[in-house]
Structure 1
Amino acid sequence: MPHGAVPDKGTFTSRVAIVVFAALLIALVIALRHVLLLVFGAVLIAVGLRGLAGAIQRRARLTKAGAMVVAGLIVLGALGGLFYLLGAQIAAQISQLTETLPAAWSSFRERIDQNEFASSVVGELQGAFSGTNGSQLGAYASRIGAFTMSAAGATLELFLVIVGGVFFTVNPNAYVDGALTLAPKQHRDNIREALGASAHALRRWLLGTLLSMAFIAVTVSIGLWALGVPAFLALGLLCGLAQFVPLIGPILAAVPGVLLALTVGPQTALWATLLYFITAQVEANLLTPMIQQRAVSLPPGLLLFGVIAGALLLGPLGALFATPLIVVIAVFVVIFYVRGVLGDADAKAPGA
């Protein structure tokens, strides 16, 4: 603008409107972050279902609609068969687990209290996570605990996520096209590419994660059964599900198994600890590298701090969805920053 010229009022007003709109959009995203995480969960379900439907369509030469119906029936059949075969036993063992764990923890504390140093360490940790000693860790734990959902609320939200996932699966283009209308025209092609690459990366990440979860659940269940640990099926299922939250989840899931093994005997607890450790090493050093050749490879440090950040900023759902969110963020960073800003056209997005 030339020196001394009067700025165009229309241009100034439009810029102010853009800034205000951006601020309101950010405030809305913060206020609705829980709902947006549920939407992201529905997107994950849709990505998985469409990936399965695509594989069926390629092999069975069905129509897209027919393949999606078959994919849905396969998922329902697998879940129904698992519930029919093991549902009653798993439910009984989960009930046993919830009843036995407090007694196992009390027994563990009694053994620890015999050693003054160990007792003080455990007391400090327990106080830190309960927030009773005023530590920063306690404050974080209390903040995370504030987001804990009731069982009824969690069930309702799970139902909504599944229904939303079905809607996204049936007609994803309608939602993508609707979202793109809110973006500037010059960026729509890049955003569409990033969304497609994100779906591809999430599909491969889901496949790798499900394989790891199945391996861990089966291996731990068989191992704990061989050791005579009670509620072995529930503990194995818990350990498998914990793989969805990498690094931190498996460690936390191992604690109940070791505590229940301690009720059988100290030697059983030692063997259970060794079982968890060996299973984790086999999964991390043998299974994961083979899976990552056809899936998504992310640095462990990035996953660790991503899970912590997700838990502190967004609560339990943030920790649960931290890894797939990192996958999507990494794709957008590569396409918009590495390629668009830095000009590295050969950079590959995760899962490419």
Structure 2
Amino acid sequence: MPDQTPHDDRPAPPADPGDPSAQPPLPSPRPTAPGRTPSGAGPGAASNGPAGAADATSTKTDAPTQTASSASNGGTATKTSSGGGAGGDVALPDPVTDVDVRKQEAGVDETAPFGRPGRPLGQAHPFVFGFTGALGVLTAWLLVQAVMNVRQVLVLIIVSMFLAVGLNPAVESLQRGRMPRGAAVGLVFLGVVLVFVGVGFAIVPPVTNEVSKFIDHLPTYISQLQGNRQIQEWDRRYQLLEKVQEAVTNPSFGQGAAGGLVGAGRVVVSGAFSTLTVLILTLYFLGSLPTIKSFFYRLAPRSRRARVALLGDEILGRIGGYVAGTVMVALIAGTAAYIFLSIVGVPFALPLAITVAFTALIPLVGATIGAVLVSVVAFFDGLGTGIACVVFFVIYQQVENYLIHPRIMKRAVDVPPAVTIIAALIGGALLGFVGALLAIPTAAAVALIIREVILPRQESL
């Protein structure tokens, strides 16, 4: 049904005979479509009724009027023109095909080269809410998968940063002696490399020598086993030698042995690569540690940056103190073990002492693991030697737990013993040895933040 313009059907007021400007009433105009003027209407024509003056005024302008349709009409624009006795709807160019119209409707200017953004969709809209929630869940899942895929790399990075922070106090002490930071970093890192090389020379040759001796004496050991009466009795009852011979001659035994050798080779290569990666990353982090600290401090607001920097320096200092204290405890344990093993006469005293020192780096259970390993080796040397090793390590662990470790760690991290145990257990359950190693300085940092930030804020509320 065509749209029609309403018109005034009220009768015109009676004309005054004395009024010279009185004109006879005009008939009502025919209905016209929007944007059109009655035919025959010129610039001076006026309609009956109160709106006649406004209509007459509107017809005096010759400038066309442009109107843009709403987004619900498909984004098209219309142009309405009036005057001159002729008019009609003229469609503007579509913004999809006309670049000028596109820029005009988008509101392009110097500050907004791509136009002004429209009103956002309502946040309460079900589609927007569901899409946002689904996108958040998908993003979280992808982040978790990414972390799981690179967890080994992240562990190496964390260990390297931990070692760099632990070695930084030594670098700063050399800097206070008027040595440039580059030279100080190089000297400290050279010391670390020499420690690794020394450990390798202390452990690898004895182990290789013993393996060679075992292989050379293997036929003798087999002959002794065959001549043993107890072994002969077991072989007569259970056919042990026959079963061992069948297992050795089985083709699957060779395949399994080859697979085991390949697996052991992979473990060795992976360990060497991880060690080299940690050393390189440690050198990089140690050299650029001031820059890294400044970068993270600048992420804090300017009004709180100074306090964040002070707290950050204190946390890094405690981590460095923990690393130095742990190394000191391990060095004391290794030295004491070497002196005792040398006096008792246990073979390979130096490799066993280095083993004790390295296992002492593990919180809580490291000292026990080292003591068990050394005691087992000592029992092979003799029953009395093994018992002496057990007694020595039991006494030394009591001294370390109640005298050495508390005094060193009290100055380094200042964490209560209960918190230390809980943190080490949680860290070990999450990341194994690395988690247990990082748990105590992390607990020290959390305790510092709670004491210096959270508790004062709670008191001010």
TM-fit CA distance, 1:213: 0.9
Q: Give the direction of change, closer, same or farther, for the CA distance of 1:54–1:67 in structure 2 (3 Å limit).
A: same
How does the TM-score come out when normalised to structure 2? 0.53
Stretches of structure 1 lacking an aligned partner (at least 5 in a row): 1-5, 104-148, 347-352
Stretches of structure 2 lacking an aligned partner (at least 5 in a row): 1-121, 219-265
TM-fit CA distance, 1:208: 0.6
Percentage of identical aligned residues: 22
Local SS of the residue matching 2:347: coil
Structure 1 equivalent of residue 456 of structure 2: 343
Structure 2 equivalent of residue 322 of structure 1: 436
TM-fit CA distance, 1:43: 0.5
CA distance in 1, matches of 2:132, 2:202: 64
TM-fit CA distance, 1:61: 1.6
Structure 2 equivalent of residue 40 of structure 1: 158
Rg bigger for which structure? 2
CA distance in 2, matches of 1:167, 1:260: 40
Contact between 1:194 and 1:331, CA under 8 Å: does it hold in 2? Answer: no
Aligned amino acid, residue 92 of structure 1: P
Contact between 2:322 and 2:413, CA under 8 Å: does it hold in 1? Answer: yes
Contact between 2:161 and 2:285, CA under 8 Å: does it hold in 1? Answer: yes
Cα deviation, 1:301-337, whole Å, max 9, x if unaligned, reads: 54445444444433xxx323423233124413542x5
Q: Give the direction of change, closer, same or farther, for the CA distance of 1:7–1:73 in structure 2 (3 Å limit).
A: closer
The 5 Å alignment of 1:52-201 reads 52-58=170-176, 60-76=177-193, 82=198, 88-95=201-208, 150-176=267-293, 189=305, 195-201=312-318
Structure 1 residue 268 corresponds to structure 2 residue 385: yes
Q: 1:203 aligns with which of 314, 320, 342?
A: 320
Between Structure 1 and Structure 2, which shows a larger proportion of helix residues?
1
How does the TM-score come out when normalised to structure 1? 0.67
Cα deviation, 1:172-210, whole Å, max 9, x if unaligned, reads: 3554566678x7869984765554333211100011111
Structure 1 equivalent of residue 408 of structure 2: 291
CA distance in 2, matches of 1:50, 1:68: 8
CA distance in 2, matches of 1:342, 1:24: 36
Cα deviation, 1:141-162, whole Å, max 9, x if unaligned, reads: xxxxxxxx81210110111011
Local SS of the residue matching 1:65: helix
Local SS of the residue matching 1:244: coil
CA distance in 1, matches of 2:442, 2:423: 13
Structure 2 equivalent of residue 51 of structure 1: 169
CA distance in 2, matches of 1:281, 1:184: 45
CA distance in 1, matches of 2:329, 2:283: 25
Cα deviation, 1:110-141, whole Å, max 9, x if unaligned, reads: xxxxxxxxxxxxxxxxxxxxxxxxxxxxxxxx
Q: Give the direction of change, closer, same or farther, for the CA distance of 1:252–1:342 in structure 2 (3 Å limit).
A: same
Cα deviation, 1:203-227, whole Å, max 9, x if unaligned, reads: 0001111111111111101111211
TM-fit CA distance, 1:39: 0.6
Q: Give the direction of change, closer, same or farther, for the CA distance of 1:19–1:233 in structure 2 (3 Å limit).
A: same
Q: Which 10-residue stretch deviates more, 183-192 or 70-79?
A: 183-192
TM-fit CA distance, 1:233: 1.3
Contact between 1:93 and 1:233, CA under 8 Å: does it hold in 2? Answer: no
CA distance in 1, matches of 2:385, 2:458: 55
Aligned amino acid, residue 439 of structure 2: L
Aligned amino acid, residue 248 of structure 1: V
Q: Give the direction of change, closer, same or farther, for the CA distance of 1:8–1:300 in structure 2 (3 Å limit).
A: same
Q: 2:356 aligns with which of 235, 239, 248?
A: 239
Contact between 2:166 and 2:321, CA under 8 Å: does it hold in 1? Answer: no
Q: Which 10-residue stretch deviates more, 198-207 or 41-50?
A: 41-50
Q: Give the direction of change, closer, same or farther, for the CA distance of 1:303–1:37 in structure 2 (3 Å limit).
A: farther
Contact between 1:338 and 1:344, CA under 8 Å: does it hold in 2? Answer: no
- Structure having greater relative contact order (Cα 8 Å, sep ≥ 6): 1
TM-fit CA distance, 1:300: 4.5
Q: Give the direction of change, closer, same or farther, for the CA distance of 1:150–1:345 in structure 2 (3 Å limit).
A: farther
Q: 1:254 aligns with which of 349, 368, 371?
A: 371
Cα deviation, 1:283-302, whole Å, max 9, x if unaligned, reads: 22222233234312444454
